[in-house]
Structure formats: C-alpha cells, structure tokens
C-alpha cells in the first residue's frame, strides 16, 4: 500500500522526501550542471551552491561549515570515523570502545577491525538500553583511539548520556564519536553542547533523499580518508561532490531547523496518545526503552506470546516495523533487545511505531483501533 494511503509509522526506518526538499533539488538540477571543482562559471556556481548547503547542514548542529563533510549516508560517515583513527600498520596498538546497542554501521566496522587485531571493548547497557558512563571510563586504555556511542537508538529511541561521556573522553584525551543519524532533525542537536569530536548525519532520516549524509569533524581532528582520490571535501572524502544530493540534505536541514520547535512537541503528543491507547486496550503490553529519555517520536512495545510480524501481516493499513528495519525479514531477537536482556518470548512480539510529519492524531486513533483488534483476534485464535 503506498505511503500516502497507509498509516505510515516507520519514520525511524526512513522518511519521505519533504516537498520543499524536492523543489530545491529540481531547482538544483535546472540551475547547477557544473562540476564544483571546475573554475569556469557553471563550476563556480555549483561550488557556491554546495557551500550554501554545507552552511545549512552546519547550522542545524551548531558547527562551522568547514567542519562538515558530505558523504553517501550514515554508514559511510560511521565507517570513516571508526576506520579513520586506526593505524593499520600497528592495529594492535589501537583500541576502540563502543556499546552493545549500536547500529550495525558501527558494530560491524568495529568487529572488522577487531579481527585485524584492534582492541575492542563493547560496553553493555541497562534494561532500558542506556549506557552507564562509568562503564565507559572503566574500558579506557592508554591505546584507546576512539569512543563511539550513538546519540539515540534506532529501535528504542533511548537517548544516551553523551554529555557525561564527552566529559570523560575529554579528561582522558580520547576522541568521541556520536552516531546521531536518528536524532538529528527530531531533537535539538548541538555538537558543542554535546562535546563530541565527530557526529554522523543520515539524510533519509530527516526528510532528505537516500544516498546522502554528512560527517561533522571538529576542527583540528584528523582522519585517514576512507576513499583516496582527488582533494574534494578538503581532502577528507574523495570523489566529485553531488551538488544535487547536498542540496537535498542542506534544504532538509534548513527546514528541520525551522520546524523543530513545533515538530518535536507535535510528534511527542502523537506518540504519547498512541501509547496511551495501546496500553489501555492491550493486556500485558511491554514498553522497551526509557519512559522519558527517548526520542519524542518513538514507541517500541512488545505483545508477549505473539510474533510482531504476525500482527503487522494482518494490518496492511499500517506500515511499521517489528524492530530495526534492517532486520525486518529475520525472526531472530534483535541485538538491541538481547543486550537489554529482554526474554525472547517477549521480544519476538516487538513493534516499532515511529511517527513523523506525515501523521496526525486521527491516524493515531485509527492505528490503535487496528492494532488492538488484530491482537485480540490473534489471542482468540482467529
């Protein structure tokens, strides 16, 4: 069922392109055909557009435009940081700290490096999915080259205590990276307030197109490029820049900055109303993640004894996820729920319901009715 005809509750998986972003990209295609590295007029115009959009991205997270590197998305941004601080000539002299609930775009590069000999510490989380900053302190070694902890979890929405971790990292002289793919555009994010050295942005999580993202690299921090080639992006990311995709991301960030004041409370009101209705109508429903310290749009719940995919299969009117979107076709317990020590008989019934700009209160009412009816049918054996 097309997104415009369904109740779309999977904004943590991806967001539709904002109409304003679409218009800006059409304007870009029509107006800036040049290569931004070329010195003739169409190239210079393309470069000027690229830098305007770099400023728009920087404005959303409170950094200097020169600290923004355009990438192909969150996965590339994460890989660039995690691999870019390791000395591949002496991998055993390097050590990385991360958490058990990170996105695979962080965990898998870290595991790859561990197989090459890099030391790896994976900090566990509490039952709400949050990291204890003291646990991070206990893992720091003289050879630690990076701490990478996500700002907000993609499944539970849990917000990590990044400010506390940044104080620890700063005291120990260890760079800190935050994967903020799920947070940017949903809550205020300021890199100086957080105290991070690197921060990941994914365009398709904030109403930009897929295939574009950005990496904040604090002035003075150096990374080995993930890709080598020419000197684009200040030598930090080789390859001719896509002015079109940069325009999509920059415009999405500009719009997000304007809308945050109403989007954040608006999505929270919808999320809370849906949560209230579901808990009133479904016996034994379980909430995963913190009650307060989570993204305002995220509701991650379980129906014990019923697989989440069985619930959603019977409600084509709702587009949602049974966990992280990357793992939707698997019936195994997500690594996030496993790290939170959720029993399999509970976690297998997980539903991730995430709201956004495409939703309204009427849809929350309709979604709750559909979910409650479907779950009652399954429990009655129909």
CA gap 66, 216 in Å, rounded: 9
- Number of other residues whose CB lies within 10 A of the CB of residue 361: 12
pLDDT tier for residue 382 given thresholds of 50, 70 and 90: low
Give the model's pLDDT for residue 197: 98
Q: Tell me the percentage of the chain whose pLDDT exceeds 70.
A: 96
pLDDT at 3 (0 to 100)? 52
Position 332 confidence tier, pLDDT thresholds 50, 70, 90: confident
Decide if pLDDT at 57 tops 60: yes
pLDDT band at 328 (very low <50, low <70, confident <90, very high): very low
Q: Is the pLDDT of residue 86 over 70?
A: yes
Cα–Cα distance, 102 to 336 (Å, whole number): 8
In CATH terms, 7-16+259-379 corresponds, of 3.40.190.10, 3.90.1150.10, 3.40.140.10, 1.10.390.10, to 3.90.1150.10
Confidence class of residue 325 from pLDDT cuts 50, 70 and 90?
Answer: very low
324 pLDDT above the threshold of 50: no
What's the pLDDT at 28?
Answer: 98
Q: Would you state the pLDDT for residue 2?
A: 52
Indicate if 28 belongs to the active site: no
Phi, psi at 83, each rounded to 5°? -90, -25
The per-residue pLDDT of the chain, averaged, comes to 95
C-alpha–C-alpha distance, residues 104 and 148, integer Å: 12
**pLDDT for 374 beyond 80:** yes
Degrees, nearest 5: CA angle 226-227-228:
125
For the entire predicted model, the pTM comes to: 0.95
Question: What are the domain boundaries of the chain?
Answer: 7-16+259-379, 19-255
pLDDT of residue 4: 57
> Using one digit for the tens of pLDDT, what is the confidence trace for 109-134?
999 999 999 999 999 999 999 999 99
**pLDDT, tens digit (0-9, with 9 covering 90-100), for 16-48:** 999 999 999 999 999 999 999 999 999 999 999
CATH code linked to domain 19-255: 3.40.640.10
Averaged pLDDT, 239-258: 98
Confidence of residue 5 (pLDDT cuts 50, 70, 90): confident
Q: Counting beta carbons within 10 angstroms of the beta carbon of residue 290, is it exposed (0 to 12), middle (13 to 18) or buried (19 or more)? A: middle
Exactly one of 28, 94, 253, 326 is catalytic; name it. 326
> pLDDT tens-digit profile of 151-185?
999 999 999 999 999 999 999 999 999 999 999 99
């Amino acid at each position: 069922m097309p997104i415009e005809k369904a109740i779309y509750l999977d904004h943590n998986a991806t967001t539709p392109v904002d109409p304003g972003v679409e218009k800006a990209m059409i304007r870009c295609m029509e107006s800036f055909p040049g290569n931004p590295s070329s010195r003739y007029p169409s190239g210079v115009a393309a470069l000027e557009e690229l830098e305007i959009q770099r400023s728009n991205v920087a404005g959303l997270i409170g950094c200097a435009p020169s600290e923004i590197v355009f990438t192909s998305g969150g996965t590339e941004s994460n890989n660039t940081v995690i691999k870019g601080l390791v000395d591949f000539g002496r991998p055993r002299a390097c050590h990385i700290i991360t958490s058990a609930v990170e996105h695979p775009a962080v965990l898998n590069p870290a595991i790859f490096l561990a197989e090459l000999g890099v030391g790896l510490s994976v900090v566990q989380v509490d039952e709400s999915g949050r990291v204890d900053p003291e646990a991070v302190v206990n893992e720091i070694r003289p050879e630690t080259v990076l701490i990478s902890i996500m700002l907000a979890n993609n499944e539970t929405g849990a917000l990590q205590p990044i400010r506390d971790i940044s104080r620890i990292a700063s005291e120990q002289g260890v760079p800190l990276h935050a994967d903020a793919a799920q947070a940017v555009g949903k809550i205020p994010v300021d890199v100086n307030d957080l105290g991070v050295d690197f921060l990941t942005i994914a365009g398709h999580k904030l109403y930009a197109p897929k295939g574009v993202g950005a990496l904040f690299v604090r002035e003075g921090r150096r990374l080995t490029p993930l890709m080598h080639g020419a000197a684009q992006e200040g030598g930090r990311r080789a390859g001719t820049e896509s002015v079109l995709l940069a325009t999509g991301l920059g415009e999405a960030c500009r719009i997000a900055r304007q809308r945050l004041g109403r989007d954040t409370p608006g999505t929270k009101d919808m999320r809370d109303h849906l949560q209230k209705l579901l808990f009133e109508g479904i016996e034994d429903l379980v909430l995963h993640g913190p009650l307060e310290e989570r993204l305002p749009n995220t509701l991650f719940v379980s129906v014990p004894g019923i697989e989440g995919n069985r619930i959603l299969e019977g409600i084509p009117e709702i587009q949602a996820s049974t966990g992280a979107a990357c793992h939707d076709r698997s019936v195994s317990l997500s690594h996030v729920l496993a790290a939170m020590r959720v029993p399999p008989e509970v976690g297998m019934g997980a539903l991730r319901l995430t709201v956004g700009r495409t939703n309204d209160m009427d849809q929350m009412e309709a979604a709750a009715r559909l979910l409650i009816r479907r779950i009652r049918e399954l429990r009655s054996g129909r």
